[in-house]
A = this chain, B = another copy of it.
Amino acid sequence: MDQTSYRTLDAGGIREFLAGLPAIATRLGGVPEQWQVHEVSDGNLNNVFLVTGPAGEVCLKQSLPHVRVDPSWKMPLDRTYFEAAWLAAIGPLVGELTTEYLHFDPELYVLVVESLSGHTVLRTALMQGADWPEVAPRIGTFVARACFGTSLLARPFEDVFDARRIFAANQALTRITLDLVFDDPYRDHPRNHWHDPALSPIVQDIRTSAAALLAVENLRRRFLSQPQALLHGDLHTGSIMSTADDTRVIDGEFALYGPIGFDCGMFVGNLVLHFFATPDLAARQAVLRDIASFWHSFHEQFMALWNANDAPPPGTLRPLAYGPAAHVVQQAFMDEVMADTIGFAAIEIIRRLIGYAHTADFDTITDPRLRATCRAGALAFAYYVLDHLADMRTIADFLSCLGENERKGI
């Protein structure tokens, strides 16, 4: 990709750039001098701006040649390219569960999408006490549609292999996931950090537990070697913008072909983190409800797409066996996704407590001792799950284990 004409856009540069795109200029209305450019960069990686004109608003995202929050950590520019490719691939499958794709510039690595108004980052909304029961099932629908529709169940293998070829080049961000999620937390590394000494003995337990480490090895291998579907790749509660009525998955720059349970597990893991970060019992019950309704919705939608008899999916993996036998295949497939979901949820919890990423949810707890207890509870739960993966085969097993903590008031 040509990087010679790349430059980081400031407000003036953004106005000039968008003025050259007639459809977007029309959407904004008025003249460029009237357009308000407002920086809203929030994630770790990119510059993000809202551009508001008399008639409308767009969101503009530009890759930087380094991690936004750490300029010494160099990074290739192509991550907005992969986000654009992800959005182009899944947009038609998920409809209004993501943002509308408007433009991508391959020299400036600028992606322009629909802006969202009135939406809040889901993590923030949860921290503010929002209780939106429809959000989790919407995410279930999102994962079901995006994953089914990009899998060998729905598409000829040639299409899937072509898509795998595109996203197998998304290596800088896959390397980040690999290091931060699957590696650093399980050894001494300067990127790790945790403030509460109460976590240290649990960290030691995890790092010396053969069962836990074998589970992590297995999940890491599956992450890199089970290209079932096009994943979002970073589906935590910060990658979701929502109101009570409208939910959008954003920030697909980590997209890769991988195991479907990775997306499910990221989402579930972050709900579990919120569970432990909120000592309020009603709020905890709401999280249990959300995890159950997410999985139920995902499962139902995925199976509905698979069994669409009026228009059977034209995927290469068409059934050879019919009747009860076909049900066996589907059950085994979903059991595997469930097992992955639980495992990936556990390692997501671990890395967000002891690795590089900070988990804001716990910041709402002002009492340091209570905060430490809550974090230690989350870490101990994740360790327990990794250590007992073979016993946790259904979402009910997982929720029952989580509910134990709730009843104990940890």
Interface residues of A (CB under 8 A from B): 152, 157-158, 160-162, 164-165, 168-169, 171, 174-175, 178, 186-187, 210, 213-214, 216-218, 220-221, 224-228, 316-317, 319-321, 323-325, 328-329
Flag if A152 contacts B221 (CB, 8 Å): yes
State the majority secondary structure of interface residues on A: helix
Q: Are A320 and B186 in contact (CB under 8 A)?
A: yes
Output the nearest chain B residue to A159 by Cβ-Cβ distance: B171
Minimum CB–CB distance from A370 to chain B (whole Å) comes to 32
26 contacting pairs across A/B (C-beta < 8 A): A152-B221, A152-B224, A157-B175, A158-B171, A160-B224, A161-B168, A161-B169, A161-B171, A165-B165, A168-B168, A210-B323, A210-B325, A213-B320, A213-B321, A213-B325, A214-B320, A214-B325, A214-B328, A217-B317, A217-B320, A217-B329, A220-B320, A221-B317, A225-B227, A226-B226, A227-B227
Chain B residues with CB below 8 A from A225, complex form: 152, 226-228
Q: Tell me the bound Cα distance from A108 to B340 in angstroms.
A: 47
Instruction: A165 to B169: give the CA distance in the assembly, Å.
Output: 8
Beyond contacts A168-B168, A225-B227: 13 other A-B pairs, Cβ-Cβ < 8 A, are A157-B224, A161-B169, A161-B174, A164-B165, A178-B316, A187-B320, A210-B321, A210-B323, A214-B320, A214-B328, A217-B321, A220-B317, A224-B316
A171 closest partner in B (C-beta): B158
* Contact A157:B174 (CB < 8 A) given known A165-B169, A221-B317: yes
**Which residues of chain B are within 8 angstroms of A325 by Cβ–Cβ distance?**
210, 213-214
Q: A323 vs B320: C-alpha distance in the bound complex, in angstroms? A: 43
A152 — which chain B residues lie within 8 A by C-beta?
A: 221, 224-225
Chain B residues with Cβ under 8 A from A214's Cβ?
320-321, 325, 328-329
Q: Which residues of B contact A220 (CB under 8 A)?
A: 317, 320
Find chain B residues with CB under 8 A from A174 CB: 157, 161
- Minimum CB distance partner of A170 in chain B: B161
Once the chains bind, are B319 and A217 in contact (CB under 8 Å)?
A: yes
CA distance A152 to B223 in the complex (A): 12
A364 to B31, CA, bound (A): 85
Q: Provide the residues of chain B in CB contact with A175, threshold 8 Å.
A: 157-158
